[in-house]
Amino acid sequence: MTATMPQTVALTGQMLIAGNPVHGTGKQITAFDPSAEQPLQPTYRHGDRSHVNAACAAALAAFATYRASTAAERAAFLETIAGNIELIRDDIIARAMAETGLPQARITGEVARTTGQLRLFADLLREGSWNGARIDPALPDRDPLPRPDLRQRAVPLGPVAVFAASNFPLAFSVAGGDTASALAAGCPVVVKAHDAHPGTSELVGRAITEAVAAAGLPAGTFSLLFGSGPDLGIALVTDPRIKAVGFTGSRSGGMALVEAAAQRPEPIPVYAEMSSINPVFLLDGALTQRAADLGRAFVTSLTTGSGQLCTNPGLVIAVDGNGLDAFLAAARDALADSAAAPMLTPGIARSYADGVAALTREAELVGSGQGSDSQTNCQAALFATDARSLLASETLQAEVFGAASLVIRCRDAAEMRAVAENIEGQLTATVHAEPSDYDDARDLIPLLELKAGRILFNGWPTGVEVGHAMVHGGPYPATSDSRSTSVGSRAIERFLRPVCYQDVPKSLLPSAIADGNPDHLWRRIDGRLQQN
Amino acid sequence: MTATMPQTVALTGQMLIAGNPVHGTGKQITAFDPSAEQPLQPTYRHGDRSHVNAACAAALAAFATYRASTAAERAAFLETIAGNIELIRDDIIARAMAETGLPQARITGEVARTTGQLRLFADLLREGSWNGARIDPALPDRDPLPRPDLRQRAVPLGPVAVFAASNFPLAFSVAGGDTASALAAGCPVVVKAHDAHPGTSELVGRAITEAVAAAGLPAGTFSLLFGSGPDLGIALVTDPRIKAVGFTGSRSGGMALVEAAAQRPEPIPVYAEMSSINPVFLLDGALTQRAADLGRAFVTSLTTGSGQLCTNPGLVIAVDGNGLDAFLAAARDALADSAAAPMLTPGIARSYADGVAALTREAELVGSGQGSDSQTNCQAALFATDARSLLASETLQAEVFGAASLVIRCRDAAEMRAVAENIEGQLTATVHAEPSDYDDARDLIPLLELKAGRILFNGWPTGVEVGHAMVHGGPYPATSDSRSTSVGSRAIERFLRPVCYQDVPKSLLPSAIADGNPDHLWRRIDGRLQQN
């Protein structure tokens, strides 16, 4: 295992700006242990515009050197970050559990996912397809005009701002998918940590900072800031040195960054992964054959992580009848056995309670999880209504972050399709179907393709595999840019742009597009793939 | 040759909305023959919001059917458009020459380029790489959790709005690169024609409309509108049914569309190709060996199409000295022989005169082309200044659309690099270098990679090859989205987004990602390319 830091790290309560620990000057942040209902030391403070300025200046200064690193060097760097995280994983797990109230198995799995993501991008860097290498060889004798020698490869966009999520303190946070894919692309990263887990953020930030130093990279390759609002988040997005933004969070938070970016003279890509209620379509055959099993499995998916997952199944659509009644009965029983569990922060718990109250006003409550005395615990809730009410109401279509879901009783398959056609964009759309349902499913898939980044059958949307074929994205409001994915190897493409080299002398060409293919890449020669 | 229309077409002065000729209701447009200095019949009129509404409604209605067409069907459709254009090419050439004042050879070449682009996308559709097919096979026995079967392919975004350019009445207009790539992707297209060549637009629009009908596609697959401002251009970009925008034109026009799109609730991609002054760096060895040849070749590139090209060389950077003096002397002589030539429209000619007047106030005039009595002719103009003045002035960095260029006398190679580092984003950056210059060139290339979409050596930026490795794009303000190209086969990617299919039953999978690879595609299996 590659690792470059001491095994025990004392938290300092500081930001990390280009390798330097810096105390914030603004609002105090004290992490809160939702299980113990107690504040956690040390105290952190928000940074201000001067910290944004320092981090962005260092990132730009680092960019020329960092982007000139070889893919192999960046791969080793990512692996060192993974090694450092593993070296201090016990500290990270303990702190993340305290800060989030999430169980040990979940956090342990998330550490593995985070290091796995870093290593996936290291492998991708060595494999080389991310270069997008293309060569259209010169045709000096072409009539009426000769063709020049044209070669294309990808280059990094520049410094990237990453806004960490509340609900994945590791995999979508300081060293999460956005950071890993931006660093892999050759872009320095400035992370805005989430206030909900500052200690976890500092620990992981230290792991990255140590890896930067060990690799001999410029210190500005990575910075970690705390803060919010115009002084920090908006200042970061509107800094002219920032060339792309990654964000995971709420619709209001994501759209605030999109709007801030739109005020810049120079448009930049903003990849905001925002809100999704992840519709689940239960077709007749599936309900007939396995309604009770579906009801129980649904509740397991709904209550995972207290429902605080981007892919939580917040909407269930089925034709009304005995099958749906059996599904609801099983779900109601499973919910009744489902214990209240802590939510990430008191604020998230309050928002959840507001969302449940709004659903209660507009839909019928059909089942609840167990209650609790704690204000920060999540009591799961299941509602039902009809399709017409759903499509007429913004409230019913809004994401309630937590273990709440809404079942839509449809009159027939046509009404299910109408729901598919008229809901907002989603990260996922799920279909439960038996072979007898395939004709209905065949009608549904084209509608779902326009609404979701991932279509899944006979499973549940929670649990996002990190691989090459994954899409964690989708039409607005699921994301602000449906052309990309924030999970899996294609995430690197978000931070690259193509450059064409015309008649550039052989000795000056980058190796990815050099004669003789020194990097042994698959390259598109006259549009056809070749590896020689 | 596939073609489906009569060989002679009488112009009607109408828009084409989902196959129907419709008279506009707004401002009258009369094309103007800049050579003959005479108006051209028939008269057209701008459309209004009702026409935008009708075209977008038809485009959305067509989308479900059009996107379900096979790649082979779309390829044949694009070839029919090309065949129809060739069938009426004599009419098109005559009308385009009259409307633009561009010479026959140029328009004839542009027709060939336009049909060539359509056929390039037809070939690409059959080749299939645009599907982006990826499969991560299921790992049912993986510990601790099984991996589902995950497959990814690209789907079209939805109806696309295309804003035609003034300066390429065919290749960047009604059936130009934006339309060809959007139709190839499976997106219906609504074109906003350019007022400068309405007759050419109607002719080409008829060629597409006839091809839509012959292919049995829904009529809303294509519409052609005339108009401008809030009632048409902005209405089109803000219509919720439009899912992407392609534009070629001025910076102010492009940014107006970017800003309008930012007002939409749903963010959409806007691909605006805007302004570029295409710096040319003359290194010492090149100037020593071939200053006079460079001066003459520069003027040929500068005055092509009266300088009305996006890649016109508007900025020349060199170290001051005998070599640069020789270059300027040769350029001055060549300019003196360069005849005035008509510009596309009286408005463009007025803007050019304003731009030249602004340069005259801030820089030294070092040479001019021949003058003329006509108000619509372009008199080429060459200016010079120093690097400090350039970098301090917005005026000197602004694009002057036409045959004007500015030479920057630098003190040394470091000052040339400072210019490279501090200019705005560009479509192209050119370097003239001999082997003795390669060390300087090696320092320059990384700077140019951050500023331009295409870097070329020992040539001139005008003349954009249509192929697989071309990038016609670049950082702002060259475009509003540097991640893409508007020329070449990769342009199709602008109108696609990925969808992941998880555990979808085999019989319901799209053929691109089906078992057995029925489409014989190169696919990424577990991240590795395979064709089986």
pLDDT digits (tens, 9 = 90+) for B484-519: 999 999 999 999 999 999 999 999 999 999 999 999
Query: A202 near A13, Cβ under 8 Å?
Result: yes
- In the stretch 105-124 of chain A, residues with CB closer than 8 A to chain B read 109, 123-124
pLDDT of residue B8: 81
Dist. CA A373–CA A350, nearest whole Å: 14
The two tokens of residue B80 are 């029919």
pLDDT of residue A7: 80
Dist. CA A117–CA A85, nearest whole Å: 12
ipTM exceeding 0.90, yes/no: yes
The two tokens of residue B374 are 């006509």
- Cβ-defined contact of A507 to B438 (cutoff 8 Å): yes
Q: Answer whether residue A2 shows pLDDT above 80.
A: no
Query: B489 near B467, Cβ under 8 Å?
Result: yes
CA-based nearest distance B267→chain A, Å: 6
Alpha-carbon dihedral sign for residues A235, A351, A380, A95: positive
Dist. CA B263–CA B229, nearest whole Å: 15
Which residues from A are below 8 Å from B500, CB to CB?
453-455, 469-471, 485
Average pLDDT, chain A: 96
Neighbours of B388 (CB within 10 A): 14
pLDDT of residue A3: 73
For A471, the closest chain B residue by CA position comes to B500
Comparing C-alpha atoms, which of A319, A330, A277 is closest to residue A437? A319
- In the stretch 266-325 of chain B, residues with CB closer than 8 A to chain A read 266-267, 269
CA-based nearest distance B295→chain A, Å: 20
Comparing C-alpha atoms, which of A483, A211, A166, A94 is closest to residue A344? A166
From residue B210, give the alpha-carbon distance in Å to each of B57, B96, B115, B219: 20, 20, 16, 10
Question: SS3 sequence, A365-404?
Answer: EEEECCCCCCCCEECCEEEEEEHHHHHHCHHHHCCCCCCE
Return the bridge partners of B496, or none.
B156
Q: Rounded to 5 degrees, what are φ and ψ at B33?
A: -85, 105
Dist. CA B215–CA B212, nearest whole Å: 5
> Is B394's Cβ below 8 Å from some Cβ in A?
no
Enclosing H/E stretch for A210: helix A198-214
- Cβ-defined contact of B455 to A157 (cutoff 8 Å): no
Comparing C-alpha atoms, which of B504, B509, B497, B516 is closest to residue B148? B504
Q: Rounded to 5 degrees, what are φ and ψ at B203?
A: -60, -50
> Is A490's Cβ below 8 Å from some Cβ in B?
yes
DSSP state of B370: -
pLDDT of residue A347: 92
For A266, the closest chain B residue by CA position comes to B476
Which residues from B are below 8 Å from A505, CB to CB?
433, 435, 438, 441, 457
Average pLDDT, chain B: 96
Neighbours of A191 (CB within 10 A): 31
Helix segments in A69-189, DSSP class H? 71-87, 89-100, 104-127, 177-185
From residue A506, give the alpha-carbon distance in Å to each of A366, A492, A525, B447, B454: 70, 28, 16, 18, 16
Dist. CA B527–CA A492, nearest whole Å: 14
Q: What is the pLDDT of residues A57-89, one digit of tens each?
A: 999 999 999 999 999 999 999 999 999 999 999
For A440, the closest chain B residue by CA position comes to B508
Dist. CA B253–CA B263, nearest whole Å: 16
CA-based nearest distance A68→chain B, Å: 9
Q: Answer whether residue B3 shows pLDDT above 90.
A: no
Which residues from B are below 8 Å from A508, CB to CB?
438, 441-442, 445, 457
CA-based nearest distance B41→chain A, Å: 34
- Cβ-defined contact of A155 to B450 (cutoff 8 Å): yes
Q: What is the pLDDT of residues B513-524, one digit of tens each?
A: 999 999 999 999
- Cβ-defined contact of A468 to B522 (cutoff 8 Å): no
What is the average per-residue pLDDT within B350-369? Answer: 97
For B526, the closest chain A residue by CA position comes to A468
Identity of the residue numbered B421: E
Q: Answer whether residue A359 shows pLDDT above 70.
A: yes
Active site (catalytic) residues of A: 273, 310
Active site (catalytic) residues of B: 273, 310
Q: What is the pLDDT of residues A295-343, one digit of tens each?
A: 999 999 999 999 999 999 999 999 999 999 999 999 999 999 999 999 9
Helix segments in A219-345, DSSP class H? 235-238, 251-262, 284-303, 322-336
More confidently predicted of A407 and A6: A407
- Cβ-defined contact of B469 to A124 (cutoff 8 Å): no
What is the average per-residue pLDDT within A278-305? Answer: 98
Which residues from B are below 8 Å from A438, CB to CB?
505, 507-508
Comparing C-alpha atoms, which of B41, B121, B45, B25 is closest to residue B77? B121
- Cβ-defined contact of A500 to B157 (cutoff 8 Å): no
For A146, the closest chain B residue by CA position comes to B465
Give percent of chain B with pLDDT exceeding 90: 94
pLDDT of residue B375: 84
CA-based nearest distance A46→chain B, Å: 30
Return the bridge partners of B39, or none.
B32
Dist. CA B465–CA B244, nearest whole Å: 25
What is the average per-residue pLDDT within B65-87? Answer: 98
Dist. CA A484–CA A449, nearest whole Å: 15
The two tokens of residue B472 are 């016609």
Comparing C-alpha atoms, which of B235, B254, B81 is closest to residue B170? B81
Q: Rounded to 5 degrees, what are φ and ψ at A495?
A: -115, 20
For B148, the closest chain A residue by CA position comes to A465
Neighbours of A113 (CB within 10 A): 20
From residue B522, give the alpha-carbon distance in Å to each of A530, B135, B525: 11, 11, 9
- Concatenated DSSP letters of A338-352: PPPEE-S-HHHHHHH
Half-sphere exposure of B227 (CA within 13 A, CB side): 28
CA-based nearest distance A125→chain B, Å: 12
Go through B441-454 and write b for each residue having 16 or more CB atoms within 10 A of its CB, e for each that does not: beebbbbbbbbbbb
- Cβ-defined contact of B453 to A498 (cutoff 8 Å): yes
Which residues from B are below 8 Å from A155, CB to CB?
449-450
Q: Answer whether residue B2 shows pLDDT above 70.
A: no
Enclosing H/E stretch for B119: helix B104-127
> Is A446's Cβ below 8 Å from some Cβ in B?
yes
Mutate to test the interface with A, among B497, B509, B531, B532 (most CBs of A within 10 A): B497
pLDDT of residue A440: 97
What is the average per-residue pLDDT within B443-461? Answer: 98
Return the bridge partners of B378, or none.
B341
The two tokens of residue A166 are 């509340």
Query: B327 near B283, Cβ under 8 Å?
Result: no
The two tokens of residue B239 are 């219509």
The two tokens of residue A376 are 């920060």
pLDDT of residue B9: 85
Return the bridge partners of B500, or none.
A454, B152
What is the average per-residue pLDDT within B132-152? Answer: 96
pLDDT of residue B337: 96
Which residues from B are below 8 Å from A432, CB to CB?
none
Comparing C-alpha atoms, which of B219, B228, B225, B218 is closest to residue B249? B228
Q: Name residue, tokens 């500068």.
A: B302
